[in-house]
């Protein structure tokens, strides 16, 4: 079944159960300093899972573009990919276990309303209990009744697993959850490809995966195709407390569902990926069967890169840009290893595969290609620079005469590390340049360096999404003032392309083709500070998207759906956003200063922000700029 057909069926199925479709949020999360990428559909919904009312109601459904950096090194095993689309449905304190299990089963097995998967191919896992959270016998019973109706034996089909397999939160198992994080036990469904699907060889290697094959043994016979999380707990200092509401958070990987409907144990052989795989094989003149790992890496990494670039990212040495750089360079390494020269046709084929569901990729193709090719040039330069650095180091250390720069040379691990730190060249690249070195010594040096950087990163990521600290809230409102002021100064073509707010600073990205002058920066700061001084009231209203646009609301939003949105007003009064009258006695302006789509949170009055100061303004890429600012005392 094609991707677009599955997507349509899923959304229709849950709309019939009174769910409202919500937008696909940006791959780069807005205002969430805890993570670099959106990696599941629930991520943008955290405040609502914790109890805040969602403007579109209690039953939601969507398809979310996701990226999981943690899986980069797993790609190559037929089933791991880094970029994927997650089907998601949520109950925010509405229905719970019974409805979710029944509906998902119907979606999977009904020919007419869903995917029509053969029931005897499906297996189920449930939570076996942990500490004071009991075994999930309720889900077991619901599954058991369902299976019996279909004349399947529950004892052969339902498996209990512990917290390492049947517990879900954004941060993993319960012990990894920071205080305040929502999570819960889950029930998963697995598709059975049979003991030797596609390959004709037994998957289960007893030495690697244990004596007995079972849904969670990881040998590849079974593929998890959907996870219903019963999100009812919040982590506390001492354990867990119940959330104010019992939620359902369902996530199912579209690519895996395609694999199941097409009975393809290798995701890269499904209708979504196989044309890309064929193209890579054609361009490199290599057989897929003989170079599966390299070809899967090329297909996966460039697919992720295409979506990242289309989300306004550029390769760099920092944060998301660094991951994008790593993907492109690792993809190129594998492409060159197979003898590939020109990556264009591969990018073209990837975009072609998503044309039905993500038309905008076609429109952005020239930009995507230009960014990847620019990075390829930068990479080639880095390789040349790394080589030069190594040669210089070797000559300085008396290890090499100027006329001996040929053939395979053994270099000290320290020198290899220097080329890694300065030019980003890893072991594979060094080897391709003809160097050998002590891998163990190099990995120890890398580890030492990572420990130091990890400490920095941990510090940085401890904010938590529930970072509603005073400074962060002030920062959110400050970005609205900044956005509006920039548009007033430079016209309405200017708009925000991203933001990231922590208690330390505000980061704001926007489209503009030049550096701001000192005088402009001063004017910008002065205007925002004036609005802070005016102590404007801030309030939000929930309204239909059409109305929101009518009243001129700005901000990042998806044009596709005409549902309710949350709109924040800075200045003006509730209920009369464009009114000239003021009745509260507060120093209101006649009209709101800023009207913007946003999830919040915000200050009640702009005076709480106290001060706004720009500390840096820099280029982010072609026609993209970034401002760093601080707020507060
Ligand atoms: N949010 C559920 C999942 O990602 O599996």
Q: What is the pLDDT of residues 151-181, one digit of tens each?
A: 999 999 999 999 999 999 988 888 888 899 9
Per-residue pLDDT, 406 = 61
pLDDT of residue 481: 96
Binding site membership of 40 for ligand 1 (Cβ less than 6 Å): yes
**Residue 477 structure tokens:** 């409102």
Q: Is the per-residue pLDDT at 497 higher than 60? A: yes
Identify the pLDDT of residue 29. Answer: 86
Average pLDDT over the chain, rounded to whole? Answer: 88
Query: HSE (CB half, 13 Å, CA atoms) of 551?
Result: 25
Q: Provide the percentage of residues in the chain whose pLDDT is more than 70.
A: 90
**Tens of pLDDT along 433-454?**
888 888 888 888 877 776 665 5
93 Cα distance to chain centroid: 25
Residue 48 has pLDDT above 90, yes or no: yes
Task: Note whether 101 and 227 are within 8 A (CB).
Answer: no
Say yes or no to pLDDT of 456 above 50: no
| 70 Cα: distance to centroid of ligand 1 (angstroms) | 15
Q: Which atom of ligand 1 is nearest to the CA of 250?
A: 2
pLDDT at 70: 86
CB of 416 shorter than 6 A to ligand 1? no
* Closest residue to atom 5 of ligand 1, CA basis: 251
Percent of the chain's residues with pLDDT above 90: 60
Q: Please name the fold of domain 470-631.
A: 3.30.980
Closest ligand 1 atom to Cα of 252? 5
407 falls in which pLDDT band (50, 70, 90)? low
* pLDDT for the residue numbered 452: 61
pLDDT in tens, 560-590: 444 667 788 999 876 654 444 344 444 444 5
Identify the weakest region by mean pLDDT among 3-7, 214-218, 419-423, 603-607.
419-423
What is the domain class of 3-269 according to CATH?
alpha beta
Phi/psi of residue 71, nearest 5 degrees:
-100, 5
**Mean pLDDT in residue range 339-365:** 95
Structure tokens at 626: 């970034």
Q: Is 408 helix (H, G, I), strand (E, B) or coil?
A: coil
Does residue 168 line the site of ligand 1, with CB under 6 A?
A: yes
Distances, alpha carbon 579 to alpha carbons 79, 192, 548, 582, in Å:
57, 62, 15, 8
Which of 120-124, 180-184, 235-239, 433-437 has the least mean pLDDT? 433-437
CA separation for the pair 205, 212 (Å, rounded): 10
Nearest to 423 by CA among 450, 387, 452, 449: 387
* HSE-CB for 4 with a 13 A CA cutoff: 7
Q: Cβ(251) to ligand 1 under 6 A?
A: yes
Instruction: Tell me the domain boundaries of the chain.
Output: 3-269, 273-458, 470-631
If you take atom 1 of ligand 1, which residue's CA is the nearest one? 251
């Amino acid at each position: 079944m094609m991707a677009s057909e599955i997507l349509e069926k899923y959304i229709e199925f849950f709309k019939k159960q009174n769910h409202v479709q919500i937008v696909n949020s940006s791959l780069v999360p807005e205002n969430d300093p805890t993570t670099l990428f959106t990696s599941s559909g629930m991520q943008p919904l955290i405040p609502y899972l914790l109890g805040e009312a969602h403007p579109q109601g209690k039953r939601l459904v969507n398809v979310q573009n996701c990226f999981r950096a943690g899986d980069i090194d797993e790609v190559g095993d037929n089933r791991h990919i880094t970029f994927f689309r997650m089907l998601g449905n949520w109950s925010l304190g509405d229905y719970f276990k019974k409805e979710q299990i029944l509906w998902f089963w119907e979606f999977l097995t009904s020919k007419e309303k869903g995917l029509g998967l053969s029931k005897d191919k499906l297996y189920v896992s449930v939570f076996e209990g942990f500490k004071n959270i009991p075994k999930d016998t309720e889900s077991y019973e619901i599954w058991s009744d369902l299976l019996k109706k279909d004349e399947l034996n529950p004892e052969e089909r339902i498996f209990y697993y512990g917290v390492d397999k049947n517990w879900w939160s954004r941060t993993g198992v319960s012990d990894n959850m920071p205080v305040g994080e929502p999570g819960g036990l889950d029930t998963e469904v697995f598709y059975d490809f049979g003991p030797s699907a596609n390959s004709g060889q037994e998957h289960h290697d007893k030495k690697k995966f244990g004596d007995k094959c079972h849904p969670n043994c990881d040998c590849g016979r079974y593929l998890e195709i959907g996870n219903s999380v019963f999100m009812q707990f919040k982590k506390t200092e001492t354990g867990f407390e119940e959330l104010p509401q019992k939620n359902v958070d369902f996530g199912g990987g579209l690519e895996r569902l395609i694999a199941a409907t097409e009975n393809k144990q290798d995701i890269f052989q499904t209708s979504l990926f196989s044309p890309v795989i064929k193209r890579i094989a054609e361009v490199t003149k290599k057989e897929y069967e003989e170079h599966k790992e390299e070809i899967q890496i090329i297909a996966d990494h460039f697919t992720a890169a295409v979506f990242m670039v289309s989300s306004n990212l550029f390769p760099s040495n920092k944060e998301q840009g660094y991951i994008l750089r790593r993907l492109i360079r690792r993809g190129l390494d594998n492409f060159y290893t197979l003898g590939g020269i020109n990556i264009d046709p591969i990018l073209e084929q990837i975009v072609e595969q998503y044309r039905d569901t993500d038309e905008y990729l076609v429109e952005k193709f020239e930009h995507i290609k230009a960014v990847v090719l620019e990075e390829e040039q930068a990479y080639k330069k880095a390789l040349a620079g790394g080589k030069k650095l190594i040669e210089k180091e070797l000559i300085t250390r008396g290890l090499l005469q100027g006329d001996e720069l040929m053939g395979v040379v053994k270099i000290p691990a320290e020198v290899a590390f220097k080329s890694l730190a300065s030019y980003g060249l890893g072991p594979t690249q060094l080897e391709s340049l003809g160097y050998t070195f002590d891998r163990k010594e190099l990995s120890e040096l890398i580890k030492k360096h990572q420990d130091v950087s990890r400490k920095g990163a941990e510090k940085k990521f401890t904010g938590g999404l529930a970072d509603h600290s005073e400074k962060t809230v002030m920062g959110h409102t400050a970005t609205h003032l900044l956005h509006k002021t920039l548009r007033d100064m430079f016209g309405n073509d200017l708009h925000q392309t991203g933001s990231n707010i922590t208690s330390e600073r505000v980061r704001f990205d926007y489209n503009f083709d030049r550096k701001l002058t000192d005088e402009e920066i001063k004017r910008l700061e002065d205007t925002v500070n004036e609005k802070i001084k005016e102590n404007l009231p801030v309030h939000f209203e929930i309204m239909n998207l059409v109305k929101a646009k009518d009243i001129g609301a700005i901000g990042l939003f998806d044009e596709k759906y005409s549902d309710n949105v949350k709109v924040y007003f800075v200045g003006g009064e509730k209920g009369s956003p464009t009114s000239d009258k003021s009745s509260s006695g507060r120093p209101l302006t006649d009209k709101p200063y800023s009207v913007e789509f946003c999830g919040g949170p915000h200050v009640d009055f702009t005076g709480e922000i106290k001060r706004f100061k720009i500390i840096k303004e820099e280029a982010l890429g072609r026609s993209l700029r970034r401002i760093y600012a601080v707020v507060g005392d």
